[in-house]
Amino acid sequence: MKSVKNIDSFGRAHTYARVSVTAKCNLSCRYCAPCAQPSACAGTKAGFGELALPELLGVIRALAGIGVEKIRFTGGEPLVRPDIERLVAGAKAIPAIKRVCLTTNGVLLESKAAALKEAGLDALNISLDSLDPVRFKKITGSDSLAVVRAGIDRALGLGFKLKINAVALADLSFEEVDGFVEFAAKNQLTVRFIELMPFCEDGFAKTAFAPIRRIENYLARKYAPGNPEADGVARNYKINDGVIGFISALSHPFCGSCGRLRLSSRGVLYRCLFDPAGLDVKTLRDEGAGTLPEQIRTFLAGKKEFHGLSSASPADLKRVKNSMRLIGG
Ligand code: SAM
């Protein structure tokens, strides 16, 4: 395959692709679900048009052809895909792909962790917004906190490198923040607080958004962890035996160093979560994969400098929210 450069017109090298493998999800998180009442979404076409395993691996090969080295499978919920282990193994078998990672809500992790390890998965991010069963249910609509925690224990037991991601909603108490600090130290892992991206056109974000600085200041006062270390898009603080990180797309945009591409579960490539238009790589691949890396390269050259979230119109926000599961968070 002909190698083409992966650098956009602002000098950013793109070596990382987030690949949504399904739009289906087994949770209905309040800030992410396609509508406020999950039951009203039952039977929608969210899962239709998903790329099959050979199509997905074909696109990943084309991405590897422009210099992508790291793949993260996401969704929707990637573990609801019955062939997820084969996808991981297939991506790992592509020589240019150095790391294959996965982001999950952990509901199916206890039963899938061993097979994922066997398939060669390098690392797992697990989304866990609360350690309190009542608040967990309020956010996700599910009683599965204990199941998720069992999945985390199983993954740790198998030697997986884990990061926990928690969306820091306004009702996240400092007491619960302390609980996450203790959880990170006890399990010697990283918990990252993520600022809510406010694309909830139903008004939810108006009361649920809180700047991430609120928690960062609290931790600085209580634990005096010193200066943070940069880790990709996160600012990480070592506290006791754990690491606490902060990610904020709105208050501290990281566009200047963004080297991500995003593939939707329907096979459309985006340069940013907020990209108004994508490249339909599924159709291009079906027409003959030969020129795909060059077409991706041309598309990449048009990537905007900033995501524009703070100036997005209500229509933009609605579009991004509706496509969150397709594009993958
Ligand atoms: N189902 C998987 C999971 O829960 O990790 C993968 C997909 S989920 C869309 C990926 C991440 O996006 C999760 O950590 C979720 O919390 C985050 N996310 C979704 N909507 C968000 C929003 N409005 N603001 C911030 N993070 C969001």
Listed by start position, the domains of the chain span 16-324
Amino acid at 146: A
Amino acid at 194: I
Q: For residue 129, give the ligand 1 atom closest to its CA.
A: 16
Q: Please tell me the distance from the alpha carbon of residue 111 to that of residue 304, in angstroms, as a whole number.
A: 41
Sign of CA dihedral 132, 136, 137, 142: negative
Q: What is the DSSP letter of 142?
A: -
pLDDT band for position 44 (cuts 50, 70, 90) = very low
Q: What is the DSSP letter of 141?
A: S
Q: Please tell me the distance from the alpha carbon of residue 71 to that of residue 59, in angstroms, as a whole number.
A: 11
Q: Whose CA is nearest to atom 2 of ligand 1?
A: 104
Q: Whose CA is nearest to atom 5 of ligand 1?
A: 104
In the reported structure, the alpha carbon of residue 33 is separated from the centroid of ligand 1 by a whole-number distance in angstroms of 10
Ligand 1 binding pocket mutation candidate from 77, 79, 147, 167 (most atoms within 8 A of CB)? 167
Q: Is 105 in the pocket of ligand 1 (CB under 6 A)?
A: yes
Q: Taking each helix axis from N to C terminus, what angle separates 174-187 and 213-223, rounded to the nearest 10 degrees?
A: 70
Q: Whose CA is nearest to atom 19 of ligand 1?
A: 32
Q: Is 144 in the pocket of ligand 1 (CB under 6 A)?
A: no
Mean pLDDT value across the chain: 88
In the reported structure, the alpha carbon of residue 105 is separated from the centroid of ligand 1 by a whole-number distance in angstroms of 9
**Would you state the structure tokens that stand for residue 82, as one six-digit string?**
């019955």
In the reported structure, the alpha carbon of residue 83 is separated from the centroid of ligand 1 by a whole-number distance in angstroms of 21
Q: Please tell me the distance from the alpha carbon of residue 256 to that of residue 307, in angstroms, as a whole number.
A: 10
pLDDT at 319: 66
Average of per-residue pLDDT across 105-134: 98
Q: Is 323 in the pocket of ligand 1 (CB under 6 A)?
A: no
Q: What's the pLDDT tens digit per position in 177-230? A: 999 999 999 999 999 999 998 776 677 888 899 999 999 999 999 999 999 999
Q: Please tell me the distance from the alpha carbon of residue 81 to that of residue 93, in angstroms, as a whole number.
A: 19
Choice among 174-178, 195-199, 241-245 with the minimum mean pLDDT: 195-199
Please determine, for residue 92, whether its predicted confidence score (pLDDT) is greater than 80: yes
**Would you state the structure tokens that stand for residue 11, as one six-digit string?**
């000098």
In the reported structure, the alpha carbon of residue 329 is separated from the centroid of ligand 1 by a whole-number distance in angstroms of 5
Q: What percent of the chain has a predicted confidence (pLDDT) above 70?
A: 86
Compute how many other C-beta atoms are within 10 angstroms of the C-beta atom of residue 183: 18
What torsion, rounded to 10 degrees, do the Cα atoms 288, 82, 275, 318 define? 140
pLDDT at 41: 39
In the reported structure, the alpha carbon of residue 94 is separated from the centroid of ligand 1 by a whole-number distance in angstroms of 27
Q: What percent of the chain has a predicted confidence (pLDDT) above 90?
A: 65
Confirm if 282 and 266 have CB atoms less than 8 A apart.
yes
Q: What's the pLDDT tens digit per position in 266-322? A: 999 999 888 878 999 988 877 766 788 889 999 998 898 887 666 677 777 766 666
Strand ranges across the sheet with 123-127: 229-231, 234-239, 242-247, 190-194, 161-167, 123-127, 99-104, 70-74, 16-20, 260-263, 268-270, 279-280
Compute how many other C-beta atoms are within 10 angstroms of the C-beta atom of residue 10: 13
Distances (CA, A) of 177 to 170, 181, 183, 285: 12, 6, 10, 46
Q: Which candidate, 122, 131, 235, 261, places its Cα nearest to that of 183? A: 131
Confirm if 21 and 53 have CB atoms less than 8 A apart.
no
Q: Is 31 in the pocket of ligand 1 (CB under 6 A)?
A: yes
In the reported structure, the alpha carbon of residue 3 is separated from the centroid of ligand 1 by a whole-number distance in angstroms of 33
**Would you state the structure tokens that stand for residue 58, as one six-digit string?**
């074909």
Q: Is 197 in the pocket of ligand 1 (CB under 6 A)?
A: yes
Based on the number of CB atoms within 10 Å of its own CB, is 120 exposed (0-12), middle (13-18) or buried (19 or more)? middle
Q: Is 106 in the pocket of ligand 1 (CB under 6 A)?
A: no
Q: Please tell me the distance from the alpha carbon of residue 262 to that of residue 23, in angstroms, as a whole number.
A: 14
Q: Whose CA is nearest to atom 22 of ligand 1?
A: 197
Compute how many other C-beta atoms are within 10 angstroms of the C-beta atom of residue 42: 7
Q: What is the CATH number of domain 16-324?
A: 3.20.20.70
pLDDT at 18: 96
Q: Please tell me the distance from the alpha carbon of residue 170 to that of residue 212, in angstroms, as a whole number.
A: 9
Ligand 1 binding pocket mutation candidate from 22, 31, 32 (most atoms within 8 A of CB)? 32
Between 328 and 76, name the one with better pLDDT: 76
Q: Please tell me the distance from the alpha carbon of residue 99 to that of residue 92, in angstroms, as a whole number.
A: 7
Amino acid at 124: L
Q: Is 328 in the pocket of ligand 1 (CB under 6 A)?
A: yes
Confirm if 114 and 158 have CB atoms less than 8 A apart.
yes
| 16-20/260-263 β-pairing | parallel
